[in-house]
């Protein structure tokens, strides 16, 4: 499963499915960025993907971003997992996009650290789209208010929304959640809040990324379908 041919096959298959889904929805496939979720995976596997042209990688632990980024500063690391405020210092400036901003307090911390370093950090607001008790994220109805509050912080730029849809073997079950995300992004965008850009919609994982693309995803986060099963399933 870890040999180069198999990563290539899986990679080409994922790209083909993204392309087909985009075309089915009348979208330009180039609007969709594949983030290869490499959490728990060895650097060699990422190097195989990079050799095929895949440079965007998703990680859910700060520690893993730090050591992998030190080896390959040319890769684009996306922080997709829950971020504790005491780890913000380590990830600001290392991740190109923090997908998992799930509280105003976290956003404030990211902004403060960024300002001290003369940076502006791009982030997404994580939405608990299916109101699952065990999941992080803003309730959908609180997203616009949170965006307004966070937009006032000088070291942060809201680029869009992210969700982790329910884990289901039937991707159609998540279609309504992806539609809800798309509508929420449009609604917030129409409020014309200064410093809020609703151009990124990060949604869709191995089991449902094609449906997510049909419903407007601009980033899909795909791990298992590219790199095989993880030994320890991430959150």
Point out which residues bind ligand PLP (CB under 6 A). 37, 39, 60, 80-81, 164, 205-206, 221-225, 234-235
- Tokens 């995300």 map to which residue? 181
- Angle in degrees, 0-180, between the axes of helices 62-71 and 43-51, rounded to the nearest 10: 60
Nearer Cβ to ligand PLP, position 148 or 230? 230
* Residue whose CB is less far from ligand PLP, 155 or 171: 171
Smallest separation (angstroms) from ligand PLP to the CB of 135 = 10
Q: Closer to ligand PLP at the Cβ: 79 or 193?
A: 79
Token pair in block for residue 48 = 């195989």
User: What value, to the nearest 5°, has the Cα angle with vertex 233 and ends 231 and 235?
Assistant: 155
Report the residue number, 136 or 153, with the smaller CB distance to ligand PLP.
136
Collect all residues with Cβ–Cβ distance below 8 Å to 158 and sequence separation of at least 6.
Answer: 123, 124, 125, 147, 150, 151, 195, 196, 197
- Ramachandran region of residue 130, left (φ > 0), alpha (ψ -120 to 50) or beta? alpha
CB of 209 to ligand PLP, least distance (A): 8
Nearest-approach distance from CB 194 to ligand PLP, in angstroms: 28
Which candidate, 85, 122, 89, places its Cα nearest to that of 105? 85
- Closest residue (Cβ) to ligand PLP? 223
The nearer residue to ligand PLP, 171 or 223, going by C-beta atoms, is 223
3 Cβ contact partners less than 8 Å away, ≥ 6 residues apart = none
Task: Provide the minimum distance between the beta carbon of 39 and ligand PLP in the complex, in angstroms, as a whole number.
Answer: 6
**Minimum CB distance to ligand PLP smaller for 80 or for 92:** 80
User: What minimum distance in Å lies between the beta carbon of 230 and ligand PLP?
Assistant: 7
Q: How far does the chain reach from its first CA to its final CA, in angstroms?
A: 22
Mind spelling out the 3-state secondary structure of 89-104? HHHCCCEEEEEEECCH
User: Smallest distance, Å, CB 52 to ligand PLP?
Assistant: 17
């Amino acid at each position: 499963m870890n040999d180069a041919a198999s990563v290539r096959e899986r990679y080409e298959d994922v790209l083909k499915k993204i392309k087909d889904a985009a075309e089915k929805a009348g979208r330009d496939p180039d609007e969709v960025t594949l983030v290869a979720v490499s959490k728990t995976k060895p650097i060699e596997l990422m190097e195989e993907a990079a050799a095929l042209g895949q440079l965007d990688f998703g990680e859910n632990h700060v520690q893993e971003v730090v050591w992998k980024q030190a080896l390959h500063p040319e890769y684009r690391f996306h922080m997709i997992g829950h971020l504790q405020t005491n780890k913000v210092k380590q990830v600001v400036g290392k991740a190109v996009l923090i997908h998992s901003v799930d509280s105003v307090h976290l956003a404030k911390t990211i902004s403060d650290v960024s300002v001290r370093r003369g940076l502006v950090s791009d982030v997404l607001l994580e939405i608990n789209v299916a109101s699952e008790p065990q999941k992080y994220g803003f309730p959908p109805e609180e997203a616009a208010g949170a965006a307004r509050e966070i937009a006032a912080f000088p070291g942060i730029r809201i680029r869009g929304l992210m969700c982790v849809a329910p884990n289901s073997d039937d991707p159609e079950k998540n279609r309504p959640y992806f539609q809800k995300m798309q509508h929420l992004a449009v609604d917030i965008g129409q409020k014309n809040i200064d410093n809020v850009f609703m151009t990124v919609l990060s949604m869709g994982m191995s089991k449902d990324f094609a449906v997510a693309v049909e419903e407007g995803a601009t980033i899909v986060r795909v791990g298992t379908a590219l790199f095989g099963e993880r030994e320890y399933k991430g959150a």
